[in-house]
Amino acid sequence: MAALVLEYYLVLRSVLRDKPHLRPCLTRCRHCGIFFLTRPCNARRRPRVSCPFGCCEGHRRRESTRRSGAYYRHPQGQRKKSALNQKRRAPSLQTTELEKLPKAPARKVPELEPPLIPWDEALIEYVRMASSLIEERWVSRQEILELLDKQMRQRSEPRRTQLDYTVAWLKKYPP
């Protein structure tokens, strides 16, 4: 994971060197502390924003758990939870009738196409936004998906770029 972050920072530094007008868009995640490019409207926002690399989703889940726990500690929530648990324990007539029916054997269906990689939507949106900032034009979601499909489809070992050599050297001789 550290190698990926190091490679990400090298790319980010090279982008900021080529496009200094994006420096105000550079911000730090308030949860994990990683630097990333944000939308210009969020550039000077305080408190800092969450990064799209999992912190937003993690924060959403933690807050949902906190709200749910707070609700079920109150008498009204306890009554509702008790009712839900009682409903779950009661056997329903529909399930017992379904169990009596004979089950048909499952058929195998051959795959015609390789399965598509399920991309994380928040990450795709971040790549789209960052690409739009870097290229100074609007980049569509479809363009990003085509780019990712093309990258993932490549099977041969490509020639290493200067950035790859730099990352390999930094892995071997860390600062």
Would you write out the chain's pLDDT as a tens digit for each of its 175 residues? 677 788 888 989 999 999 999 998 888 888 888 888 888 887 777 667 888 888 878 888 999 999 999 998 999 989 988 888 888 877 665 555 656 666 666 666 555 555 566 778 888 898 899 999 999 899 999 999 888 888 777 665 666 777 887 888 888 888 7
The answer to whether residues 17 and 82 touch, using CB atoms and an 8 Å cutoff, is: no
Write down the pTM of the prediction: 0.56
Q: Domain residues of the chain, as ranges? A: 54-87
